[in-house]
Amino acid sequence: EAGVVQSPRYKIIEKKQPVAFWCNPISGHNTLYWYRQNLGQGPELLIRYENEEAVDDSQLPKDRFSAERLKGVDSTLKIQPAELGDSAVYLCASSFPRQGRYEQYFGPGTRLTVT
């Protein structure tokens, strides 16, 4: 079974430039998450999708961040314009909650460096 796929793996951009990340979840997983992980910290949720609906985007900085999951499968996360403080690893995860099980499976992440 293929895992969660993310691209690109690394991205270096100058501040004020736009950037986009792509995620393809595990087949059949209807829940998709985007996390940001700063150095030395645990992942922090940015947005959670149930199928194509964003059910929790309370931590997404909506002035510059946007996300979509149009067909309820793969998803993109965009930052425009990027700021120096956006440098982090952006992780995508997916899950298929059933019978009370909520374990999430993570992709390899995208390391973003904003200069």
Partner 1 sequence: EDKVVQSPLSLVVHEGDTVTLNCSYEVTNFRSLLWYKQEKKAPTFLFMLTSSGIEKKSGRLSSILDKKELFSILNITATQTGDSAVYLCAATYNNNDMRFGAGTRLTVKP
Q: Where in 42-95 does DSSP place strands (E)?
A: 44-50, 53-56, 65-68, 75-79, 88-95
Decide: is 44 part of the binding site for partner 1 (CB under 8 A).
Answer: yes
Which lies closer to partner 1 via its Cβ, residue 28 or residue 40?
A: 40
Q: Is 25 in the site for partner 1 (CB under 8 A)?
A: no
Q: How far is CA 47 from CA 12, 15, 66, 76, in A?
A: 23, 23, 9, 11
Q: Applying CB under 8 A, which of residues 40, 63, 70, 71 lies at the interface with partner 1?
A: 40
- Among 5, 7, 41, 11, smallest CA distance to 21 is for 7
Does 28 contact partner 1 by CB under 8 A?
no
Among 20, 26, 29, 31, binds partner 1 (CB under 8 A): 31
Q: Minimal distance in Å, beta carbon 17 to partner 1?
A: 23
